[in-house]
């Protein structure tokens, strides 16, 4: 059987095949995910109620889903901006934490007077950009793999957060590692619908701004070109290094802003839980949205729903939080594996000289 | 001072062994061109499995074996995705991380924070153990420490002194040429990834069964990522990985020692040192420009015969 199978790269998969591949992968991922949830002990009859109705159609559930989707959109932008230039940002959590730390610093030291809240958000974006500056510069100057550096810097950022929470930023009124609660002027406005807050609008504006940049501005065109074929872009006189630097710093800034929005919009203080699993959420959302900013809000909404549902499943059915992680892994693996169908043409030739799947 | 040195050196092999096993496992994968980012998740699963089996009372060796086998099982979907279906290796590896960590959390919930009887040090004459400074480092260790060194040596022998090793390296270096010479590229890749995952799973199991003798969520704590950098440092050679693991393990072993000394450095900054050291070493290697030369030529790229 295997003897006669050969692979060929498709020059252009075409719209129909691309959409069919994507939908097929999604369907397969959903079936596998449901199987995992059922195996984890959720009764089949409760699936629709818990995963769809409670999360998207009940007011409380919808509010929680929208609140959770807010930082996820920004984290996904961070992943997508970097991935478009084939830069693997696997340290979104680290940039997010730095953003949260910078925003908290502005809040705790009462910097900026009446402009404190905008200053907190700007500081958070700066913190995120700062944390990704080292990996991108190391990659551009010395060719150091960004994969390992961004990963390790995430661990460093988390240890730095712990240092602050158990030290200078710690709230001395209780024994839990959190910062003191922010003042009223340091909190984003709430809409009166659960915890949803101005952060949602900020995230949507960021999505729109980046979509405009990528699709309408000269810089966006150059960065798309540079991401598709860096060598050709360079040959045509584009400064690919500068394009990469600016895009990646912008990506880091988005991750930082996610941290700023979390502390000023929902948590109102710095905690150890800020940013948990955000790297993976961001990358999965970006992969599902195929790095297209305009798809990010919808995908974030769905993935946020999954996370919200997991909290309920944990309480009512004793399902571990690890299950969400497994499902996200399954979605990502299914998605990249099924890409095979659109990327390669499989031909079965009668010649018996080829061996294996080559 | 002598007391400090003795205690530090005595704890070094315990920190070095999981890094060595993991990086030799990674070298196997990377030598056939497969970048296995999933290592952090596979180690997490190995650690959990080892603890569960040890807690069930089967003893340390079956626990280690179970961790290694589960490491292979969880890596099979990844291997099929990247080798058969040519999926991009970085996202596929990340997916493996999520599946591994997620499974270890979901399955191991009841095993967390429960101490169990793990590996014991091999019983050797007191006279040897009491030798100044190096006595405990050399003679008061469990047998996996020795096994890991043997595995590194055997891997080096297989890679550099056998036909299979030559073919294996050729597959990662230049699969088109290997293919033309009649080597079945995919079979070698699958065999190497399976062997590598076995060692990575064992490395994870050693963390719980050999080292801490207790399992907690997140106990791998970036050791998989550090191993990825260690492979670059070792220039994809199992023998150099021994020195790399000793260096990184030695730095890690220093942290609890310095804490005991009551040093004034804040504990969380001290805990950052392995990660910062790793980045520093990566920068040094790049400055010397050696990494690019010795990196397997086809690392991280999918091969199809059309490209030949």
What is the longest distance spanned by two Cα atoms in chain B?
A: 65
pLDDT of residue A174: 85
Indicate whether A280 belongs to any domain. Answer: yes
Look at A329 and B97 and tell me if their CB atoms are within 8 Å.
yes
Q: Which residues pair with A197 in a beta bridge?
A: A190
CA distance B16 to chain A (A): 19
DSSP structure string for B120-163:
PPPP--HHHHTSTTTHHHHHS--HHHHHHHHHHHHHHHHHHHSH
Q: How far is CA A356 from CA A143, A341, B174, in A?
A: 35, 18, 18
Look at A333 and B88 and tell me if their CB atoms are within 8 Å.
no
All residues of chain B having their beta carbon less than 8 Å from the beta carbon of residue A163 are 266-269
Given CB atoms, is B264 within the 8 Å cutoff of chain A?
no
CA distance A333 to chain B (A): 5
Which is more confident, A264 or A192? A264
What is the longest distance spanned by two Cα atoms in chain A?
A: 78
Structural domain including A120 reads 69-303
Given CB atoms, is A239 within the 8 Å cutoff of chain B?
no
Number of structural domains in chain A? 1
Q: Which of B86, B95, B187 sits opposite A332 (nearest CB)?
A: B95
All residues of chain B having their beta carbon less than 8 Å from the beta carbon of residue A357 are 84, 186
**Mean pLDDT across the stretch A49-64?**
92
Which is more confident, A300 or B307? A300
Inter-residue contact B195 to B91 (CB < 8 Å): no
Indicate if the pLDDT at residue A3 is higher than 80: no
pLDDT of residue A1: 37
Inter-residue contact B270 to B259 (CB < 8 Å): yes
Its sign, for the CA torsion B179, B184, B190, B191, is negative
Query: What is the domain partition of chain B in residue ranges?
Result: 2-307
Tokens standing for residue A26? 């999604």
Look at B266 and A333 and tell me if their CB atoms are within 8 Å.
no
Count how many residues are written for chain A. 358
Indicate whether A267 belongs to any domain. Answer: yes
Taking alpha carbons only, the member of B245, B266, B261, B10 closest to residue B129 is B10
Question: Which option is the CATH number for B2-307: 1.20.140, 1.10.3470, 1.20.1270, 2.60.40?
Answer: 1.10.3470
Q: What is the pLDDT of residues A246-281, one digit of tens each?
A: 999 999 999 999 999 999 999 999 999 998 899 999
Indicate if the pLDDT at residue A348 is higher than 80: no
Tokens standing for residue A48? 């629709």
| Cα(B282)–Cα(A141) distance, integer angstroms | 13
Closest chain B CA to residue A336: B87
Surface of A (133-152) touching B: CB under 8 A: 138, 142-145, 147-149, 151-152
All residues of chain A having their beta carbon less than 8 Å from the beta carbon of residue B286 are 138, 142-144
Tokens standing for residue A302? 């769905």
The three-point CA angle B50-B52-B56 to 5° equals 115
Indicate if the pLDDT at residue A112 is higher than 70: yes
Q: How confident is the model at residue A2 (pLDDT cuts 50, 70, 90)?
A: very low
Q: What is the pLDDT of residues A122-134, one digit of tens each?
A: 999 999 999 999 9
Indicate whether A216 belongs to any domain. Answer: yes
Look at A155 and B94 and tell me if their CB atoms are within 8 Å.
no
Indicate whether A205 belongs to any domain. Answer: yes
Indicate whether A92 belongs to any domain. Answer: yes
Report helix, strand or coil for A197: strand
Q: Which of A166, A333, A343 sits opposite B81 (nearest CB)?
A: A333
- Lowest-pLDDT range, A86-95, A232-241, A243-252, A297-306? A232-241
Look at B106 and A159 and tell me if their CB atoms are within 8 Å.
no
Which is more confident, A343 or B140? A343
DSSP label at residue A148: H
CA distance A40 to chain B (A): 8
Surface of B (206-245) touching A: CB under 8 A: 221-222, 225-226, 228-229, 232
The beta strand positions in A82-198, using DSSP E, are none
Q: Mean pLDDT, consecutive 10-residue segments, chain B of 308 residues?
A: 85 94 97 96 97 94 97 97 95 96 93 88 82 78 92 96 95 92 94 97 96 90 93 93 94 84 80 90 84 81 80
Q: Which of A142, A326, A330 sits opposite B286 (nearest CB)?
A: A142
Residue holding tokens 């009372």?
A: B57
Tokens standing for residue B20? 């060595």
Inter-residue contact B299 to A193 (CB < 8 Å): no
Q: How confident is the model at residue A350 (pLDDT cuts 50, 70, 90)?
A: low
Inter-residue contact B171 to B28 (CB < 8 Å): no
Taking alpha carbons only, the member of B168, B163, B173, B170 closest to residue B189 is B168
| Cα(B296)–Cα(B216) distance, integer angstroms | 36
Indicate whether A79 belongs to any domain. Answer: yes
Q: What is the pLDDT of residues A29-46, one digit of tens each?
A: 999 999 999 999 888 888
Taking alpha carbons only, the member of A85, A33, A42 closest to residue A332 is A33
Look at A332 and B91 and tell me if their CB atoms are within 8 Å.
yes
CA distance B71 to chain A (A): 16
Inter-residue contact A321 to A310 (CB < 8 Å): yes
Q: How confident is the model at residue A110 (pLDDT cuts 50, 70, 90)?
A: very high
| Cα(A78)–Cα(A255) distance, integer angstroms | 5
pLDDT of residue A356: 55
Which is more confident, A9 or A258? A258
Instruction: Tell me if the pTM is above 0.90.
Output: yes
Q: Which of A142, A153, A344 sits opposite B86 (nearest CB)?
A: A344
DSSP label at residue A190: B
Half-sphere exposure of A112 (CA within 13 A, CB side): 18
Tokens standing for residue B257? 């020692």
pLDDT of residue A357: 59
């Amino acid at each position: 059987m295997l003897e006669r199978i050969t692979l060929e790269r498709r020059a252009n998969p075409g719209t129909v095949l691309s959409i069919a591949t994507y939908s097929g992968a999604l369907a397969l991922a959903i079936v596998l995910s449901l199987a995992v949830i059922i195996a984890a002990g959720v009764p089949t009859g409760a699936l629709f109620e818990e995963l769809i109705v409670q999360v998207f159609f009940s007011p409380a559930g919808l509010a929680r889903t929208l609140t959770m989707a807010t930082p996820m959109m920004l984290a996904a932008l961070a992943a997508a901006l970097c991935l478009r230039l084939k830069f693997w940002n696997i340290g979104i959590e680290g940039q997010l934490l730095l953003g949260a730390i910078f925003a908290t610093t502005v809040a705790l030291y009462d910097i900026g007077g009446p402009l404190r809240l905008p200053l907190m958000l700007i500081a958070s974006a700066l913190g995120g950009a700062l944390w990704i500056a080292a990996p991108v510069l190391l990659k551009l100057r010395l060719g150091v793999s960004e994969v390992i550096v961004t990963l390790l810097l995430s661990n460093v950022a988390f240890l730095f957060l712990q240092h602050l929470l158990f030290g200078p930023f710690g709230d001395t009124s209780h024994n839990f590692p959190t910062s003191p609660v922010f003042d009223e002027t340091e909190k984003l406005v709430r809409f009166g619908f659960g915890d949803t807050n101005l952060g949602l609008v900020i995230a949507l504006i960021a999505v729109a701004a980046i979509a405009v940049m990528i699709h309408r501005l000269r810089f966006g065109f150059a960065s798309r070109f540079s991401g598709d074929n860096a060598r050709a872009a360079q040959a045509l006189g584009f400064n690919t290094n500068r394009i990469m630097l600016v895009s990646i710093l912008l990506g880091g800034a988005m991750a930082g802003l996610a941290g700023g929005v979390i502390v000023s919009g929902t948590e109102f203080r710095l905690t150890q839980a800020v940013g948990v699993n955000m790297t993976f959420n961001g990358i999965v959302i970006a992969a599902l949205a195929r790095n297209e900013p305009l798809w990010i809000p919808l995908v974030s909404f769905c993935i946020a729903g999954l996370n919200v549902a997991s909290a309920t499943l944990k309480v009512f059915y004793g399902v571990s939080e690890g299950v969400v992680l497994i499902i996200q892994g399954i979605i990502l693996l299914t998605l990249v594996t099924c890409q095979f169908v659109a990327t390669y043409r499989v031909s079965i030739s009668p010649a018996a000289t080829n061996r294996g799947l080559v | 001072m002598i007391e400090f040195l003795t205690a530090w050196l005595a704890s070094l092999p315990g920190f070095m062994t999981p890094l060595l096993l993991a990086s030799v496992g990674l070298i196997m994968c990377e030598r056939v061109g497969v970048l296995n980012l999933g290592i952090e998740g596979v180690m997490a699963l190995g650690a959990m499995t080892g603890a569960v089996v040890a807690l069930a009372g089967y003893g340390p060796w079956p626990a280690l074996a179970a961790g290694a086998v589960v490491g292979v099982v969880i890596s099979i979907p990844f291997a099929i995705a990247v080798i058969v279906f040519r999926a991009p290796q970085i996202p596929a590896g990340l997916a493996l991380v999520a599946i591994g960590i997620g499974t270890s959390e979901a399955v191991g919930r009841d095993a967390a924070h429960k101490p169990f009887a793990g590996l014991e040090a091999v019983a050797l004459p007191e006279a040897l153990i009491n030798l100044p400074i190096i006595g405990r480092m050399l003679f008061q260790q469990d047998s996996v420490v020795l096994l890991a060194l043997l595995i590194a040596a055997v891997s080096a022998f297989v890679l550099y002194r056998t036909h299979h090793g030559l073919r294996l390296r050729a597959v990662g270096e230049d699969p088109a040429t290997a293919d033309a010479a009649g080597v079945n590229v995919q079979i070698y890749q699958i065999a190497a990834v399976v062997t590598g995952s076995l060692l990575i799973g064992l490395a994870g199991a050693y963390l719980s069964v050999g080292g801490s003798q207790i399992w907690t969520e997140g106990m791998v704590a970036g050791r998989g990522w550090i191993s990825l950098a260690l492979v670059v440092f070792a220039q994809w050679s199992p023998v150099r990985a021994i020195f790399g693991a000793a260096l990184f393990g030695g730095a890690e072993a220093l942290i609890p020692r310095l804490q005991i000394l009551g040093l004034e450095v804040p504990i969380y900054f001290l805990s950052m040192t392995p990660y910062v050291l790793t980045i520093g070493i990566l920068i040094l290697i790049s400055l010397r420009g050696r990494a690019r030369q010795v990196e397997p030529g086809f690392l991280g790229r999918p091969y199809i015969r059309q490209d030949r």
